[in-house]
Structure 1
């Protein structure tokens, strides 16, 4: 490669890096979930991976960390151990993590055999994907996390892999 080609390649690489950084900042700015979308979240007839109906009234009055994920999503899978650890750290704090699997029930069951978590996982499917969009996920990408305070108001959203310290602060401010 001659010098000119090398300079052009470096320039294109720097532009791509800058474009990626600016895009990631833009993507991470999602809106907070509306009151109606939070009500829709609680009213949805969620089912566990084994087909049992989940009683969402048990979730009300808690800080909820709702994480939309899929087994085919590498950043979702990468963050699950951290989410599980944060759930354990907050067991005595009236905080509950809930995973909404945007995947088929069989894929979710198979995934959880190899990667168990201590927090509830429910089947989201297409309805879960639509709900994540209603809750501020304008990109429709995963993972997407929403924190709902004990009064039922969304107070935090994050599109993309979580930052543990940022999530700890958001949980603390929601308590």
Structure 2
């Protein structure tokens, strides 16, 4: 009986490990997802990444209605002061372009800004499994995802991935 319990436990552990595999590259669908620039142009996620090729990128998926996102902003601003060579890429899940732009001005958020037209259930959001925001990801200068998931701006994994 004890050996059966151990086998069942090991089976769950193995299944859990498989479920927690994290991607190191973006899916083709995520790369093709369309975002809106501050000046109203459409741009694919692939084009956004290409713009910052060769640089470390911190992606911050956020929204102005998200209390946790707003509480994390001072920590992100602190990161910006500490890690000046990083590109800070903010992807907004705001309900409208107007509220997104208003929040950028109101909170003085410096960085590169794009509006997620497809929302959290679009191709990028589905790839990233956006079940919570804020959501932080780090992309290496080589274009690999070096950190797939962090939900707090002061997560030590972010600092490690940015180095």
The structure whose residues are more often helix, as a share, is: 1
Aligned to 2:104: 112
The structure whose residues are more often strand, as a share, is: 2
Q: Is residue 42 of structure 2 the alignment partner of residue 50 of structure 1?
A: no
Residue of 52, 60, 71 corresponding to 1:59: 52
Which aligned segments of 4 or more residues in structure 1 are displaced greater than 6 angstroms? Answer: none
Alpha-carbon displacement from aligned partner over 1:7-62 (angstroms, at most 9, x marks no partner): xxxxxxxxxxxxxxxxxxx9xx965335243x555554432233145662221111
The CA RMSD over aligned residues, in Å, is 2.7
For 1:164 and 1:51, the matched residues in 2 are separated by 33
Taking a change above 3 Å as real, the CA distance of residues 43 and 151 of structure 1, as seen in their structure-2 partners, is farther
Point out where structure 1 has 5 or more consecutive residues left out of the alignment: 1-25
Taking a change above 3 Å as real, the CA distance of residues 152 and 170 of structure 1, as seen in their structure-2 partners, is same
For 1:163 and 1:31, the matched residues in 2 are separated by 23
Q: Is residue 67 of structure 2 the alignment partner of residue 74 of structure 1?
A: yes
Taking a change above 3 Å as real, the CA distance of residues 61 and 142 of structure 1, as seen in their structure-2 partners, is same
**Highest Rg: 1 or 2?**
1
Give yes or no for contact 2:34–2:118 (8 Å, CA) kept in 1.
no
Taking a change above 3 Å as real, the CA distance of residues 105 and 164 of structure 1, as seen in their structure-2 partners, is same
Deviation at 1:162, TM superposition (A): 2.3
Q: TM-score, normalised by structure 2?
A: 0.71
